[in-house]
Structure 1
Amino acid sequence: MSHESSSSVPGSTRPVSVIGLGQMGSALARAFLTAGRTTTVWNRTTGKAAALVEQGALRADSVAEAVVASDVVVVCVLDYATVRELLDPVVASLTGRTLVNLTSGSPEQARESAEWAGEHGFAYLDGAIMTTPPGIGDPASMILCSGSPAVFAEHRETLAVLGDPLGLGEDAGLAALYDTGLLGLMWSVFAGWLHATALVGADGVPAKAFAPTAIRWLTAVGGFMDTYAPQIDTGHYPGDDATVDVQLAAVHHLLEASRARGIDTRLPELHRDLMAKTVASGHGRDSYGRVIEQFRPSRA
């Protein structure tokens, strides 16, 4: 296969190689094909490439062939160990190219991978895909990226094929760190919504009827987060809205309503305990942002 340098190929037409064709990797490759990119694909199980080849992808017979086919190599496999297993034997071929690693992992693994890339002379971006495979290609879907801002800027147009790329800065571990934090936020929101839906459902309210009001409420909650974020950064919690002690009193109503309907109370009990500890530490008149101290390491 012929190979052109990144400096001679515009970002909008730059060829891309995709290594790993699970559900997500296949969605990435399809998005590049839909955007008219020359897309080379490789997967350990070769049959997974068949549908993409029918759509115009070029099938590489080896990882090495996939790497040399493009200046931009996107890898999306099971874990970081698999990334190294596949690419260590051909690492010399990555020199001068850019590896975009969209494999899920820890911040520590991402930083180690960036060091590995630096040792072998290729550019590295670590990424986190904040959507499921059907969301790939939707401009509303966030693609978190961390690593060299200059490398991110060079390849932003390519990454924009997949969604909305958000550059988080030089630290290669930030995309994975944001990813894990945001997933925790998602599960917490889901759990709260499911608990609330079970609660109102006990009185005959359908989930479909309750959901629009819950979604509207989440918009207001986002506003509270904007208010509390600078308070957390400064360590000053003025409490000029609903204070922790007021919210502690309110959570007891949630507990009473849950118990009366036989709804599991573990989630509101967690909220109660976090707030009660904050009040007990002398900060009941502070804003709810103060509760973050219950999650931080003990300073004892």
Structure 2
Amino acid sequence: MKNITVVGCGVMGSSIINALMNGGIDVTIVDINKAAAEKFVQRGAKYFPSLDEADDTDCILINLPNHKIASAVLCSADANRLKGKMLINTTTSSPDEVKDMDRLAKERGMLHLDAKIENYPGDIGSDKAYLVYSGSKEVFDTAKNALDAIGVAVYLGDDIIGASVVDIAVLDVHFGAIATLAESVAFCIKYNYSVKTFIEQVTHILPIMLAGNYRAFAEECDNYTGKFEDASECTLRIETTAMKTLLDSMHAVGVKTPCGDSVLDLFNQGLESGNSNKNVVAVVNELI
């Protein structure tokens, strides 16, 4: 692919445009803010305020603040000009919103590939950028050189909601980690312990711990039935005792633990449901 139209020139959109241009792709920019596109125009990009005014390209990549805005842009464009084009939507959206965008794309005769960005804007265009895609394999294959310019491109299959499900689930883990990390840092501060040293150690220790968690969830929940075998190690009872111990330690020095308290409450619900001898992954039952 040599040419692509990018709708959206905000922080993430600008990073995508920069990466595409660095990758040798001719970029047409569509955004209501001409000033945001000016630095790219000076480098050779074309600018237009709307899709209907933009030069014709086979592929349109959308990166906008939310689904409502992204769908409005698509709905306001001349459907005849969109027919037969490829649509890559990188806008953060829920699985149901992705389905709605897919419906709009199909109504306009477009091939739709949903994309989700799993990194911050500053990493776009580097080997730290990681994007997951689902939907049209034809679009993925045809636009692969452009996708590779943006970052590592992983195709999850033709189920259009695949990338969105993974994105939302990963973000939940991400934000949960931020919240519990804040609790842990507060604990270190209370003891006047080096936060830098703690962070250095957690980067070594957590991957080891999480590897076991990933394996357990993958093995016991991939074909979920709601029933779990007794565990030989890491039973819910043992994990609950450990969780209570660490929370008692934090509370003793006055650290508030809203996230940790919620985890303990979830574990206790699992115990009350009769899963004390199951692997800790059995708490999934309390959430479904």
Same fold (TM over 0.5): yes
Deviations 1:236-264 (A, max 9, x none): 34412211101111112112111111000
Q: What is the aligned counterpart of 2:105 among 117, 126, 131?
A: 117
Q: Tell me the secondary structure at the aligned position of residue 199 of structure 2.
A: helix
State the AA in 1 paired with 2:95.
P
**Which residue number corresponds to residue 174 of structure 2?**
186
Deviations 1:220-251 (A, max 9, x none): 13312123321122443441221110111111
Unaligned 5+ segments in structure 2 are none
TM-score w.r.t. the length of structure 2 is 0.93
State the AA in 1 paired with 2:279.
S
TM-score w.r.t. the length of structure 1 is 0.89
Q: How do 1:265-276 and structure 2 match up within 5 A?
A: 265-276=257-268
Partners of 1:203 and 1:139 in 2: how far apart?
38
Q: CA RMSD in A?
A: 1.6
Partners of 2:102 and 2:152 in 1: how far apart?
22
Partners of 1:106 and 1:271 in 2: how far apart?
25
Deviating above 6 A after TM superposition, structure 1's stretches of 4 or more consecutive aligned residues are none
Partners of 1:252 and 1:290 in 2: how far apart?
18
Q: Tell me the secondary structure at the aligned position of residue 36 of structure 2.
A: helix
Unaligned 5+ segments in structure 1 are 1-10
Query: How far off its partner does 1:148 sit?
Result: 2.0
**Which residue number corresponds to residue 7 of structure 1?**
none
**Which residue number corresponds to residue 264 of structure 1?**
256
Confirm or deny: 8 A CA contact 1:237 1:289 kept in the other structure.
no
State the AA in 2 paired with 1:24.
M
**Which residue number corresponds to residue 244 of structure 1?**
236
State the AA in 2 paired with 1:292.
V
State the AA in 1 paired with 2:66.
D
Partners of 1:64 and 1:264 in 2: how far apart?
54
Mean Cα deviation higher: 94-103 or 230-239: 230-239
Percent of aligned positions that are identical: 23
Q: How many correspondences in the alignment? A: 283
**Which residue number corresponds to residue 70 of structure 1?**
57
**Which residue number corresponds to residue 4 of structure 1?**
none
Deviations 1:181-232 (A, max 9, x none): 1111101111122211211221111211100111112211331212332112
Deviations 1:37-57 (A, max 9, x none): 111112111111111111221
Q: Does 1:170 align with 2:162?
A: no
Query: How far off its partner does 1:270 sit?
Result: 1.3
